[in-house]
Structures are given as structure tokens and as C-alpha cells.
């Protein structure tokens, strides 16, 4: 099902959304190779014009690398976990209020998932700064889920 993409229509926030924090905590526990590389910051898009969705308090960059997993004594493939995370997010997109994922790694120009098209698009020209080869994913969620820890906890419970 497709939904309208919010983008930055809600304007700059004064803090990170509490529901976004709940989602980040859940994802970084579920996928231990991921970590929060940044959320709320009022700024323009990198490499583009206009406000970044990070400014709305509804976006996070989740980084990954080959790291030693806590207590497991083995090396985890961070990219593999990032793709598992992307799959879980897109499978539960409507419940979680997922609006966009940007994946900076794929050659030549990265790819993006967007709620208004309900699927992935492999970019054929420079669309996102950091592609190709970036070792993080950018995740955006809708205002209703980002702005309420309770709503996000309930959404995650329905997806688990």
C-alpha cells in the first residue's frame, strides 16, 4: 500500500521525536551491528537544497561495519544486518509509519525505498550524497509514530 510522503512539510522540530528514539533503541538491540550515527539536527540536506528530514526529528542514520558482536566472540557482517533491518522495516512499513530508507552502498548511485511508491528504486543518477559505498542507512518515519513513544511501542509490539 502506498502512502503520502511527509518530507519536511511539518517543519523543523526542537528535539528528536520520542517515538524515533524508541525505534532506534529497538533496532540497535535487534541488529547489534547497527548504531545510531545521528538524528535530530536543524540543517539543510547534504548535497542539496532545502531542509533535511533530520531537522524534523523523524530521521536517523544507522551505521554498520564489520564489528565484533558483544559476547559472541565472532565477527558479524554489518551490511548483512543492515539489509535484515531494511527488510523488517519495509515488511512492517505501514504499522511503523516508515516513510523512507536510503541505502548508500549499492553501485553506482545507491537506492531508496519510499512510502509513496511502496518499493525500492535503484538510482541511475546522483540522488543522494554519500553514494556509492556509504556504510549507513537513512530511515525516516511519519510524524504520528515519531512524535509518540507510546504509539511507536505499540507499533513495534504489533510487528514482533
Q: What tens digit of pLDDT does each residue of 95-109 get?
A: 999 999 999 999 999
pLDDT digits (tens, 9 = 90+) for 97-153: 999 999 999 999 999 999 999 999 999 999 998 999 899 999 999 999 999 999 999
Determine the pLDDT at residue 78. Answer: 85
DSSP secondary structure, 63-117, as one string: EE-SEEPTTT-SEE-HHHHHHHHHHHHHHTHHHHTEEEEEE--STTT-EEEETTT
pLDDT at 71 over 60: no
Q: Which of 37, 40, 36 is nearest to 11 (CA)?
A: 40
Determine the pLDDT at residue 74. Answer: 47
Residue 3's pLDDT band, with cuts at 50, 70 and 90, is very high
pLDDT digits (tens, 9 = 90+) for 14-55: 999 999 999 999 999 999 989 999 999 988 787 777 899 999
Dihedral sign (CA 108, 135, 118, 53) = negative
Determine the pLDDT at residue 123. Answer: 97
Task: Give this prediction's pTM.
Answer: 0.91
Residue 72's pLDDT band, with cuts at 50, 70 and 90, is low
Determine the pLDDT at residue 45. Answer: 81
Amino acid at each position: 500500500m502506498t502512502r503520502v510522503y511527509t518530507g519536511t512539510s511539518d517543519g523543523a522540530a526542537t528535539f528528536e521525536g520520542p517515538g524515533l528514539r524508541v525505534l532506534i533503541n529497538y533496532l540497535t538491540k535487534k541488529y547489534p551491528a547497527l548504531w545510531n550515527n545521528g538524528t535530530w539536527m536543524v540543517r539543510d540536506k547534504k548535497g542539496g537544497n532545502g531542509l533535511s528530514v533530520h531537522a524534523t526529528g523523524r530521521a536517523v542514520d544507522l551505521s554498520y561495519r564489520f564489528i565484533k558482536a558483544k559476547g559472541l566472540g565472532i565477527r558479524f557482517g554489518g551490511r548483512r544486518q543492515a539489509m535484515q533491518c531494511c527488510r523488517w522495516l519495509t515488511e512492517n512499513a505501514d504499522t511503523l509509519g516508515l516513510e523512507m530508507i536510503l541505502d548508500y552502498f549499492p553501485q553506482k548511485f545507491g537506492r531508496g525505498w519510499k512510502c509513496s511508491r511502496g518499493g525500492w528504486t535503484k538510482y541511475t543518477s546522483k540522488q543522494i550524497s554519500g553514494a556509492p559505498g556509504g556504510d549507513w542507512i537513512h530511515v525516516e518515519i511519519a510524524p504520528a509514530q515519531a512524535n509518540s513513544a507510546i504509539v511507536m511501542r505499540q507499533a513495534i509490539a504489533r510487528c514482533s
